[in-house]
Structure 1
Amino acid sequence: MGPQDPRETAGYRLLARIGEGGMGTVYLSHTRGGQAVALKLIRQEFGDDPEFRRRFEQEVQAARRVQGYHLVPVVDHDTSGPLPWLASVYVPGVPLQDALETFGPLPLPAVFQLVGCTAQALAAIHAAGVVHRDLKPGNILLGPAGPCVIDFGIARAADATQLTRSGGLIGTPQFMSPEHALGDSVGPATDVFSLGLIAALAATGRHPYGSGGAITIAAQIANTSHRPPQLGDYPDALRPLLERCLTADPQDRITPAELAQMCEQAAGRSLRDFGDWLPPALTAEISRREQASRQPPPTTDQGTTATGPSWGATVPPGTGPAAPPAPSGAWTPAPPGIAPRTDTTAPPAPTQPAGPARGFPRALLMAGAAITLVIAVTATWFISRPDDEGTDTSAGPGTTAGADSASASPKESGSGGQEESAAPAAETTYTEVFAGKPLTIRAPAYGTGTHVDLDAPKLFPNGRIGEIEDLEMTYQDWSNDDLQFLTPMGRSAGTDPQQCRDGADTDTLPSSILSEDLKDGGIISKGTVLCTVTAEGNLAMLEITDVLPNSVKGDLANELPDFVTKLTLWKIDE
């Protein structure tokens, strides 16, 4: 955090600057329930444009509708304040761009799994009516649960601003589709073309359109119909995928669902199987970041975040803590020509390379950063290096603006001591407070709302907006009829506390679910298990045992259902 950085936005305490790009700066923060988030604060020049604010609101609302695997969801946003902002779930991991720069190209099976999972994410994005428009290595995060696609759809918000009308550029030129490079309208197929370019680069370090500057490559992409890329030098197993993705006509491109199926067959394993799917050195780096993310950075007596080697500060060689030893069978290091990291916590070079290092065009990855106006929100705790100026290293893409945003603001939290990156993480334990307590959340009548305190537990019917603090949910029929989560709520795959915590952290629902999505069979149906870290820092699990039509009659009637649940609460001991 520099002296120019704010320390607080809309009740969110900003702990560290973790990324910066064309549209804004990304900061590490926490919800009041303790969930780490990446908060993107939009630049003043965009915030001053009313048309940008209007479209930004539309795009964030669209992004919140996206549901699926390998996506980083938005948990909060506001377009009404001095500067627009959005907060996304923070996922500790390594951006694909950083992984390629540091370690070189991926093994071919890993490329197929990466592309297949990304294709599944694109299918979910497109199903919600959203087009990513800026898919690139900086917008794919290699996390503990596989790859995640971030920052989807937000690029479109800047299209109609005065900046772009006067000649600005939205998107990263060397990863554009032909129609995007030509300025034509874009659809879901444009993301498939970008993914094909990423697949080629990830597997070999070579861009299908050469190693020139970003604008030169974009011009060649625009000319694809007359001069298609030469794919003869790519591996035989990869070439059919590239041919299906990199066609000039969008209608001839493979669909994301077909691409995912093709990749699963080529990988020879389930796309959900992430055991040893990456080389050991990269896996170790992901694990190190996951471990570091369990403890917030320390603060000084003045309340500002202290920086140090454990939290990604760039230090001169030899002055930081010793790097951990290379794991057995460590992967080939980045080849010559790639600038090494200057932080000493990066994975060390292995002593026994698996084979000759292949050249990787770092300049190709970074050339578009200076002109792209879209930040890649990649989840990592590390402050951006000087050569990452155009790429964010935070995480992904809420309550509504105004009063609802204020009610979702996080609590101020204390800081722990500085973490040694090599120390083992303390095991989290869960102490049961109560189990299976019946709790029926009845639909509110028109013009009313019901606040829900899961810690008590207690319901507050006929409540007003922002009337009660330390809540987890508000079921309301005010301006919208929806169920709002004031602490991030996720779906759990089971009913033990660790599964519950994992669901709360990795399968987060939108912070507002409208009535049409609340009917039985919708997003929340009978049998759904919901979990959240509560406002008081406990772990709460709601098992939906039934979804019933509400009993509200007459002029106050609405279509919101009643939820019959069983509530279990654990105290979190970390």
Structure 2
Amino acid sequence: MAAGMTGERLRAEDPREIAGYRLLARIGEGGMGTVYLSRTRGGQPVALKVIRREYGGDADFRRRFEQEVQAARRVQGYHVVPVVDHDTTGEQPWLASVFIPGLPLHQALAAHGPLPPDSVVQLVGCTAKALTAIHSAGIVHRDLKPSNVLLGPQGPFVIDFGIARAADATQLTLSGGVIGTPQFMSPEHALGEPVGPATDVFSLGLIAAVAATGRHPYGDGGALTLAAQIANSAQRPPRLDGYDDRLRPLLERCLAADPDRRAGTEELSELCERALGRSLNRFTGWLPEPLTEDLTARERAVLAPPPEPTVTDAGPGGPSAASSGAATTSPAGPPPPHAPAFAAAPTMHPPAHAPSAAAPVRRTPTALVVAGAAVAVVLAVVVTWTLARAGGASDEGRGDGKQSQPGDGQSQSAGGQSQPGGGQSQSAGPSHSAPAVSSSPDDSSGYTVVFEDRPFALRSPGEANVVAVDLDVPEVVQDSPGREFQLIEVSGGHWEFSTPMGKSAGTTAAQCLTGARSDVLPTEVDAADLRSTVPVGTRLCTVTTDGRLAMLEVTDITTASDGDLPDYATKLTLWRKR
């Protein structure tokens, strides 16, 4: 698909608005549906995927889709692109995710060639962190491949988790086969056996091998040939000669034929950090310069004011927006009042951009292998799919143990949209954009920036659950000591601060430090008081348990689908002492 920096222009048959989201461009298309670029009331970019009609017409798919996306929305952690909204009740189901102007790994490899060893090791370590968060929510990705790993200036991000199972089950009904990406499956997946978290680790090993050398470790055959060889791994393991000495041990731990012998995701992250000899959270120069320049250009293009959405010209007498009855509206003005307002962060499906003109294009044999990874291929096997929890047990429902049954009511939107039956979630209003954080050397605070404006979601942990927020990593984990604060869904719910948390009047480190010391919040803030105590636009500041300075800027507040605590979307900036 020919596409510019912000995607392909809308076609005559494309909708112009979905549930208050104004569609600006096409940014991807795959086996599940079409992905569009949109923006929130605050002007933040969001990716919205409209599911294909053949899926939407299947009642079983809708039920499973609801379960899987509800589970996916519970995933919290960095290096994952969260799902922020969805609907299974309309003519065509859809879901929305926050958007970052990154580049899918398969496109990066096709345009710039294999990555250097350090980049691959960091890619593996950070992706393993994403898998830890995904598996902790009771989800197995099932379709981890280069096109589902997005490269950005702040590291890699995993997309499209939590919905593959709904498509797999429906495809069994429709055709007697399953949708998958054979050359990036695990042996158990290719053999039609139940899959668990270890299957994602195997897929990550294959991704790392291709990213490092430009070749698949099982050879150069077609997709089904590679899948057959992967299925036979116990007798014929992959060839791992020729890989960097730091990378080979990681590949060996990932690509073991026996799932029980593969490294766990947390162990894998630790191995990668030791191999690098530095923190996985340092992203300055983590990618080659030409690729970094390409990513920078994409980021500028996405953050620029969007062009007016237009349809593809079908030629004389062809369809147009006017002739098809579709109204073409300019996104330059504010969206309609009912439009959802979510914070910007990382995208479910990134734009299928052409390489930047400033970056040299290198074509390698890898491009043929990797390009195939974006195509869904039907395997000639019938598979019984299970949604495996991180502990290995299967579950037909959502990650928190609750199942949505047909006819049990509508899903609750996090975007403030009206729901069937008159229900409506509450929204704190449009997002507010703050000036860029100052990290100038003359800042009197004595701190220097580590990273700034990193998207960070603080979601309700659900009924009778407690999670801890670590701003140094950053990550949200199960209740653990030594973190900055906790999200507690017990007895009405509250936030509990372990380090003094204050409000900053500005965006500099000096202002943040002053706020952390002089405008301190109570140790606990009840769920009922959060929206008034910490409204949209608030900048929360604290000195972390590691002695760093952290600022959370609240960009959006939405009502959680379960639990009393509202969901907060924030941008996190972290400084360290000079």
Length-normalised TM-score, structure 2: 0.64
CA offsets 1:133-169 (integer angstroms, 9 cap, x no match): 1111111111121111111121011122155562332
**Partner SS for 1:17:** strand
Q: Is the 8 A contact 2:417 2:424 kept in 1?
A: no
> Pick from 522, 528, 546: which aligns with 2:487?
522
Whether 1:507 aligns to 2:456 is yes
**Partner SS for 1:180:** helix
Q: Is the 8 A contact 2:122 2:280 kept in 1?
A: yes
- Equivalenced residue count is 414
**Partner SS for 2:97:** strand
TM-superposed CA distance for 1:487, in Å, is 6.2
Q: Is the 8 A contact 1:10 1:406 kept in 2?
A: no
Give the Cα–Cα distance (whole angstroms) in 1 for the partners of residues 119 and 180 of structure 2: 26
Q: Is the 8 A contact 2:105 2:147 kept in 1?
A: yes
Give the Cα–Cα distance (whole angstroms) in 1 for the partners of residues 114 and 238 of structure 2: 20
* CA pair 101-165 structure 1, distance change in 2 beyond 3 A: same
> Pick from 233, 242, 254: which aligns with 1:233?
242
2:508 aligns with: none
Amino acid at match of 2:533: T
RMSD: 3.8
Identity rate, percent: 56
Alignment of 1:299-318 (within 5 A): 299=308, 304=328
* CA pair 306-229 structure 1, distance change in 2 beyond 3 A: farther
TM-superposed CA distance for 1:49, in Å, is 0.7
Give the Cα–Cα distance (whole angstroms) in 1 for the partners of residues 458 and 219 of structure 2: 41
Give the Cα–Cα distance (whole angstroms) in 1 for the partners of residues 355 and 17 of structure 2: 30
Whether 1:361 aligns to 2:366 is yes
* CA pair 83-513 structure 1, distance change in 2 beyond 3 A: farther
* CA pair 91-186 structure 1, distance change in 2 beyond 3 A: same
* CA pair 41-300 structure 1, distance change in 2 beyond 3 A: closer
2:533 aligns with: 565
> Pick from 172, 177, 180: which aligns with 1:171?
180
Q: Is the 8 A contact 2:180 2:378 kept in 1?
A: yes
Give the Cα–Cα distance (whole angstroms) in 1 for the partners of residues 278 and 12 of structure 2: 49
Q: Is the 8 A contact 1:407 1:466 kept in 2?
A: no
Amino acid at match of 1:516: A
Whether 1:194 aligns to 2:203 is yes
* CA pair 223-263 structure 1, distance change in 2 beyond 3 A: same
Whether 1:78 aligns to 2:108 is no
Amino acid at match of 1:22: G
**Partner SS for 1:160:** helix
Give the Cα–Cα distance (whole angstroms) in 2 for the partners of residues 517 and 561 of structure 1: 17
Q: Is the 8 A contact 1:545 1:566 kept in 2?
A: no
* CA pair 117-289 structure 1, distance change in 2 beyond 3 A: same
* CA pair 243-164 structure 1, distance change in 2 beyond 3 A: farther
* CA pair 566-137 structure 1, distance change in 2 beyond 3 A: closer
Q: Is the 8 A contact 2:415 2:427 kept in 1?
A: no
1:405 aligns with: 413
Q: Is the 8 A contact 1:52 1:161 kept in 2?
A: yes
Give the Cα–Cα distance (whole angstroms) in 2 for the partners of residues 287 and 238 of structure 1: 28
Give the Cα–Cα distance (whole angstroms) in 1 for the partners of residues 463 and 93 of structure 2: 27
Whether 1:222 aligns to 2:231 is yes
Amino acid at match of 1:238: L
Give the Cα–Cα distance (whole angstroms) in 1 for the partners of residues 212 and 266 of structure 2: 21
> Pick from 344, 349, 357: which aligns with 1:346?
357
Give the Cα–Cα distance (whole angstroms) in 1 for the partners of residues 503 and 155 of structure 2: 22
Give the Cα–Cα distance (whole angstroms) in 1 for the partners of residues 189 and 167 of structure 2: 15
Give the Cα–Cα distance (whole angstroms) in 2 for the partners of residues 18 and 98 of structure 1: 14
Give the Cα–Cα distance (whole angstroms) in 1 for the partners of residues 185 and 366 of structure 2: 18
**Partner SS for 1:260:** helix
TM-superposed CA distance for 1:358, in Å, is 9.0
Give the Cα–Cα distance (whole angstroms) in 2 for the partners of residues 106 and 112 of structure 1: 10
CA offsets 1:361-389 (integer angstroms, 9 cap, x no match): 21111234443489xxxxxxxxxxxxxxx
Q: Is the 8 A contact 1:175 1:197 kept in 2?
A: yes
Give the Cα–Cα distance (whole angstroms) in 2 for the partners of residues 180 and 46 of structure 1: 23
2:263 aligns with: 254
Q: Is the 8 A contact 1:143 1:286 kept in 2?
A: yes
1:482 aligns with: none
**Partner SS for 1:516:** coil
Q: Is the 8 A contact 1:488 1:508 kept in 2?
A: no
Length-normalised TM-score, structure 1: 0.65
* CA pair 216-569 structure 1, distance change in 2 beyond 3 A: closer
Give the Cα–Cα distance (whole angstroms) in 2 for the partners of residues 186 and 147 of structure 1: 24
1:48 aligns with: 57
Amino acid at match of 2:198: A
CA offsets 1:195-236 (integer angstroms, 9 cap, x no match): 101111111111110011000000000011111112123223
Amino acid at match of 1:299: E
Alignment of 1:321-340 (within 5 A): none
